[in-house]
Structure 1
Amino acid sequence: MRNIIILFIVGLAISVSSCREDFQFEASTGDLTFSKDTVYLDTVFTNIGSSTYTLKVYNKSDKDIKIPTIQLGKGQDSKYRMTVDGMVGENNRVFHDVELLAKDSMYIFIEVTTDVASANPTDFLYTDQIQFDSGDNFQKVELVTLIQDAYFLYPKRFSDGTTETLNIDGIEEPVYGFFLDENDPVNGNEYNWNNDKPYVVYGFAAVPNGKTLTVQPGAKIHFHAESGLIVGNGGSFKAVGTIENNIIFEGDRLEPDFSDVPGQWETIWLTAGSTGNEIENVIIKNAIVGLNIDSNDGNFMTIKNTQIYNSSLAGIYAKTAKIQGENIVVNYGGVAALACTLGGSYDFKHCTFNNNWSSSRQVAVLLNNYYEDENGSNVAFDLTQADFKNCIIYGSNTYELKLDPDTTEDFNYSFTKCLIKFGSTTDALYSWIYDNPLIKRNEDPKFLNIQNNQLNIDEDSAARDFGDNVGVANDILGNPRNAPYDAGAYNWTTFED
């Protein structure tokens, strides 16, 4: 009986389907509706392709329709490209007889690659339209893109098809990169980065022995994926901006969705022996490691009024380095906001190290003086000093400070008038944190907005009035410091303003 019922159902389905007529599509009457009337494709660099943007087209009528044409207004000359419901049409620019069922919708995906010469010379906008049908049934959606010109720095390609590479101590394979050129035929002197238009770097730009890279106030540097800057032994890096004109280092994805995405580019790497490095009024965003600092030339390098955000490993990763830091703000790091490893010598005043990375293993500050070799033995170095004065060390975990010493070598540190996030422990290494008038433990700094990298402190912050005069006259915004002094890089009054 069951088999008879199944056969009956199958036969009925076949008979119904055999009687069904094909869809009858009528010509479009110009009554399409759209998810937006203008598609704004975010700013792109000249000749660099954009992300893909979406337009949804609706047929809200009760009839199946056929749209005679969907095309870009500039036709085959348009710098835009699109696909319509997965179809590529004529060179992704013109489509004929596009069918759309009643009460249904379809997606159009749009991209652009163009140059500043194609844009409007007064506002650098490149525009076009997606046009639907013609005559009385004509409809359109506007397309708008801002084109930004730039200096492009990248490895040379040789006649045999190979590209320029760099050999770097400690790395077995050559690195995709190039040495900057004082007399580049297109960019001019590549050891002087100006602020008249952005720089876009592909691969690692390198500064060799005896050369100095100078970055002007207000310059904007964008690194492509797996790219960065290397300052070699004997080379120098001077990025000194002003409070009004910060120097910015970030990735080359300009879309808002990428504004706070960690790990978009590699690092600024100051290798062992680099000399005379200065970093002041600088913002570094969305790198794997913001500043990768190896052992210096024996002298302290300075980092002042510098902000480092959203690093997938560490904001500052120092190895046997010598750093004097003032008014540094580091927020979000996959391992640490600040990692001072393999010993070294450090002096930080009025700095804010915060880490709200979404894991239970990251810390705001890590101090270490050894590494483990291939035989499992520690190779230790002197931590000559690691002094923190008027600093905030905070974050989302219970313990935001990690001390990791090898006691066969010096491991010297001090924390004076610092606000530190740290829970309870029986480890004697941290006994100095408790009942210490120079430390505020687990008291809230009350940052303005951690997620948006706004680490200004509130009037009720535990960091307010807790500091001493340590000789740093102004806060990170240039506001004068007066007694009583606040801990961290910001005066609380900058929040109020």
Structure 2
Amino acid sequence: MRQSLFIIPILLITLLWCSCRKDFQYDTSSGNLEFSKDTVYLDTVFTNIGSSTYSLKVYNRSNNDIQIPSVRLAQGNNSSYRLNVDGVAGKEFENVPLMAKDSLFIFIETTFDISTINGNEFLYTDAILFDAGPKQQEVQLVTLIKDAIFLYPAENTDGTKETLLLGLDKDGNEIRIEGFLLTDEQLSFSNEKPYVIYGYAGVASDKTLNIAAGSRVHFHKDSGILVGEGASLSVNGTLSMDTLLLENEVIFEGDRLEPEFSEVPGQWGTIWLAPGSSSNIINHLTIRNASVGLLVEGNSDLNLPKLSVSNSQIYNSLAINIWARSSSINGENLVLGNAGNGSLILSNGGSYSFVHCSIANYWSNGFRSGAALQISNYDLVEETSASGQDLTASFINCIADGNMSLELSLNSDETNAFDFSFKNCLIKFKDTNNQFDSDPLYDFDNDTYYNNVFLNENADFWNTAKNDFRLGNSSSAIGKADPDTALLVPSDLLGTDRSSEPDIGAYEFVAVEQN
């Protein structure tokens, strides 16, 4: 019995000592590692901006615990890639253990300065080497680096960033936003290099920001363009031959180029046409993934519209694609697609004319609070007529559609005029609960407001999830546009002739096989 009592503590001590040992015996790697991929493609990044983090998994399929003598970048410490091997950062690692039937993660990032080479694009490559000599294995690393023109606010002596004055609050305090005024040399954007903007790029009074066909403008988080009082914006895109490349289109989007960010809304702020800016002209522009695509304020005289916008697309905005407040817009051949609230909101009155526009909201990133098309002569946010104005709004050969029952919202007070009309339009308004039966604004038989309107008919778009609002074979919009108005806009968004039997919306129907 005494001998048993003596043996038990010895066994316990032995077990504890064994469990704490760090000097396991490993076999040296024999060059039979397996990898989750043979090449890691890090998606396109701008010069001097860090990439996302990418992963590589390394497998030991054998029955033996092994030790990899070395894991390193081929370019060593000179490499612009960075590694993290099982939680340890570096560029070279020695004696990396890997248990039998187990795996380890390697995480990869890069930042590259393209000014060290010639050219606007550079395919940067390296490799991760496992072991050396005849047992060496490798995984290639590849990423495309783009040069860009970076525009950003200056840093003040106290470490704060330069700001733009927006006005005064009700207590007389300044309202400011992080941003800077573009210099005369910066007021002409070209298509030679993409632009990356940090903060709000302001256009000063009596100045015009001109953006050439094919330009690419990328915005960092909470950034945008502010066109101030007395200033103008001129976007001069032209028709592209390649509908995927859009070589002549001007494109505004975020500064994250990885595919997983291609459809993430709210990556940047807005294009803000502030009160007092005038003669803003936009042609062949695509705006995507903003918070508000276009914020258009003031100047409500349609005889001298604040904004003339044509042949353009705005979609995937976190809140609103176009938000006009007490303003004036002439719009032709527009696609205002998916957005977290409204595709088009006209509030606080103003004067508006839209012809051959597809206003269609099939938002699927969560709850959507508003109709695709919202019109009011007062402030919808404050719900007061104190700041409202008279409203006139005309829609001809337009579509108002979406994945909600009611895609048209009309809000009028008794103080300001509310003059709107729809002619040869396709409108979705399924009032299943009859809650608007007594509201004269929704009397679709009243030809003062509605003339030749097609209610709750099938728009049959190609792919609403991808904001592709071309007309399908079964679309009720085919052949139902007003022909006289169509002659004023003789080509659709893609340049297709619409002079004969025109269709409602921004696109003419073309009979092709849909994917």
From 143, 153, 162, the counterpart of 1:145: 143
> CA RMSD, aligned part only?
2.4
Any idea what the Cα deviations from partners look like across 1:320-375, whole Å, max 9, x if unmatched?
A: 1100100000111111000001100110000001111132523210001112797x
Structure-2 residue corresponding to 1:397: 404
From 103, 107, 127, the counterpart of 2:105: 107
Structure-1 residue corresponding to 2:417: 410
User: More displaced, 415-424 or 190-199?
Assistant: 415-424
C-alpha distance in 1, partners of 2:370/2:64?
58
1:51, CA displacement in angstroms?
0.6
Give the unaligned 5+ runs of structure 1: 1-8, 183-188
- Identical aligned pairs, as a percentage? 45
Structure-2 residue corresponding to 1:365: 373
Change (3 A) 1:175 1:445: same
C-alpha distance in 2, partners of 1:121/1:303?
35
C-alpha distance in 1, partners of 2:134/2:381?
77
Structure-2 residue corresponding to 1:207: 203
Change (3 A) 1:273 1:461: same
C-alpha distance in 2, partners of 1:234/1:494?
46
C-alpha distance in 2, partners of 1:317/1:68?
61
C-alpha distance in 2, partners of 1:286/1:360?
16
> Contact 1:372/1:379 (CA < 8 Å) preserved in 2?
no
C-alpha distance in 2, partners of 1:296/1:215?
23
Structure-1 residue corresponding to 2:53: 52
In the alignment, residue 206 of structure 2 is paired with which amino acid? G
User: More displaced, 418-427 or 169-178?
Assistant: 169-178
Alignment of 1:265 onto 2:271: no
C-alpha distance in 1, partners of 2:117/2:458?
50
C-alpha distance in 2, partners of 1:161/1:15?
61
C-alpha distance in 1, partners of 2:393/2:313?
20
C-alpha distance in 2, partners of 1:285/1:246?
13
1:27, CA displacement in angstroms?
1.2
> Contact 1:278/1:303 (CA < 8 Å) preserved in 2?
yes
1:444, CA displacement in angstroms?
1.3
C-alpha distance in 1, partners of 2:15/2:414?
85
Q: Which structure 2 residues correspond to residues 228-377 of structure 1 after superposition, within 5 A?
A: 228-244=224-240, 245-296=248-299, 298=301, 299-300=304-305, 301-358=307-364, 359-371=367-379, 377=384
Alignment of 1:473 onto 2:490: yes
Any idea what the Cα deviations from partners look like across 1:232-257, whole Å, max 9, x if unmatched?
A: 00001000210121100000000011
From 398, 422, 426, the counterpart of 2:429: 422
1:429, CA displacement in angstroms?
3.6
1:13, CA displacement in angstroms?
8.7
- Name the SS for the 2:465 alignment partner: coil
> Contact 1:118/1:126 (CA < 8 Å) preserved in 2?
no
Any idea what the Cα deviations from partners look like across 1:132-163, whole Å, max 9, x if unmatched?
A: 11112111110011010111100112344332
Change (3 A) 1:118 1:400: same
Any idea what the Cα deviations from partners look like across 1:395-433, whole Å, max 9, x if unmatched?
A: 000111111111211111111111111112342244423
Any idea what the Cα deviations from partners look like across 1:208-251, whole Å, max 9, x if unmatched?
A: 11100000000000000010000000001000210121100000
Change (3 A) 1:123 1:167: closer
C-alpha distance in 2, partners of 1:179/1:401?
39
Any idea what the Cα deviations from partners look like across 1:57-90, whole Å, max 9, x if unmatched?
A: 11111111111111111111111111011111xx
Structure-2 residue corresponding to 1:488: 505
Structure-2 residue corresponding to 1:449: 463
From 107, 123, 146, the counterpart of 1:125: 123
Change (3 A) 1:198 1:122: closer
> Contact 1:479/1:494 (CA < 8 Å) preserved in 2?
no
1:17, CA displacement in angstroms?
5.7
Change (3 A) 1:336 1:325: same
From 391, 408, 420, the counterpart of 1:384: 391
In the alignment, residue 277 of structure 1 is paired with which amino acid? N
C-alpha distance in 1, partners of 2:96/2:286?
49
In the alignment, residue 207 of structure 1 is paired with which amino acid? V
Give the unaligned 5+ runs of structure 2: 1-7, 241-247
C-alpha distance in 2, partners of 1:60/1:47?
39
> Contact 2:120/2:147 (CA < 8 Å) preserved in 1?
no
> Contact 1:369/1:405 (CA < 8 Å) preserved in 2?
yes
> Contact 1:280/1:304 (CA < 8 Å) preserved in 2?
yes
Change (3 A) 1:19 1:142: closer
1:271, CA displacement in angstroms?
0.2
> Contact 1:269/1:292 (CA < 8 Å) preserved in 2?
yes
- Name the SS for the 1:114 alignment partner: coil
> Contact 2:68/2:95 (CA < 8 Å) preserved in 1?
yes
Question: TM (normalized to structure 1)?
Answer: 0.91
Change (3 A) 1:10 1:149: farther
| Paired positions, count | 479
Change (3 A) 1:465 1:141: same
Structure-2 residue corresponding to 1:195: 191
Q: Which structure 2 residues correspond to residues 4-43 of structure 1 after superposition, within 5 A?
A: 23-43=24-44
In the alignment, residue 228 of structure 1 is paired with which amino acid? G
Structure-1 residue corresponding to 2:478: 464
Moved over 6 A (4+): 9-15
Change (3 A) 1:377 1:370: closer
- Name the SS for the 2:386 alignment partner: strand
> Contact 1:278/1:302 (CA < 8 Å) preserved in 2?
yes
C-alpha distance in 2, partners of 1:486/1:373?
35
C-alpha distance in 2, partners of 1:422/1:123?
49
Question: TM (normalized to structure 2)?
Answer: 0.88
> Contact 1:239/1:280 (CA < 8 Å) preserved in 2?
yes
